[in-house]
Amino acid sequence: MSNYSETFSNIYTGRPSGQQLYLHEKISCLPITKVATVASEKCFALLGYACDEGVKRNLGRPGAANGPDAIRKHLGKLPNHLPTETLVYDVGTLQCLEGDMEETQQALGDSICLLLQQKHFPIVLGGGHDMAYGTYNGLKKYVGKSETIGIINFDAHFDLRNNLQDDGNTVNNSGTPFYQIAQDCIENGSPFKYLCLGIRKDANDRTLFETAKKLDVKYVMRDTFRIQFHNEINAWINAFASSVDHIYVTIDLDGFSSAYAPGVSAPSPMGFTPDVVLESLKTIMGCGKLRVLDIAELNPDFDRDDQTAKLAASLVHFILHDLP
């Protein structure tokens, strides 16, 4: 793939121990073409999506293309508590060349399918939220048309913008991925299962709420998506999970309050907190249906003390260590 680049191990640095006490000593870099040579009961694959073309098209602040490497730099410094037999590979990065976001999404989908076929659990590091269209299609390609996929999106935004322009052409961006997925589901006669956690009225216009209603999207508003309501939230998650065969989780960092995530395209102090996300992830992972996860919208150009990159790295650390 012309838009693919390998990851080199020198990006993962940290305190040396000689005992794999830190993730930079645990994570191995492997070209994605060689994942078939790996055999283990439990294998994680980190894949970068270095694309912010969708953010630019959505009139956001560009810079998310640098997100994957920013996460990697902080992930390597974190402690390693994984069993020896659990393997973690960084399988490279997909780059958006000459603004061809659609080609990058296609390459992401093909890569996700390949990783799943080789029994790896993919964790995609982004990059704009347009990555969701590629991640979903990769999982769909892997599981087939007869299996139902449920999308759980931690986000302030529905990202259900209509991609049809006044001139009749379609223009996709970081705000359209779930609308695109919904249209594909309608065309294919398959159910569109979408749960959003953390939706805000000040982040979505009236038409987006109308679209969500029309598509039967389930969502929890930000004023309810709080840790004190975790029992109710977990009940909603479990009900959603019981209606699908597989789950794809996507975490948009701009859903967090800017107190935790200033380095995003659309920051807001009104976002949610990490504790409710971690509690929700425990419930999702406990259902045994989670197949792929991605983290979107890290923009290092606007980060403060690498706070958002550290949050993203800690989320990856949590998934690595707590996924059953």
Question: 301 labelled as ligand-binding?
Answer: no
Cβ neighbours of 175 (radius 10 Å)? 26
Provide the 3-class DSSP secondary structure of residue 226. coil
Element (H, E) at 282: helix 274-286
Question: 157 labelled as ligand-binding?
Answer: yes
């840790």: which residue's tokens?
227
Cβ neighbours of 112 (radius 10 Å)? 28
Q: How far apart are CA 16 and CA 257, in angstroms?
A: 33
Q: How far apart are CA 147 and CA 264, in angstroms?
A: 34
284: left (phi over 0), alpha (psi -120 to 50) or beta: alpha
Question: 129 labelled as ligand-binding?
Answer: yes
Cβ neighbours of 16 (radius 10 Å)? 10
The answer to whether 112 and 126 have CB atoms below 8 angstroms apart is: no
The answer to whether 176 and 169 have CB atoms below 8 angstroms apart is: no
Cis omega before residue 198 (within 30°)? no
Question: 155 labelled as ligand-binding?
Answer: yes
Sign, CA torsion 268/152/35/317? positive
Residues of each annotated binding site for Mn(2+): 129, 155, 157, 159, 252, 254
Residues of each annotated binding site: 129, 155, 157, 159, 252, 254
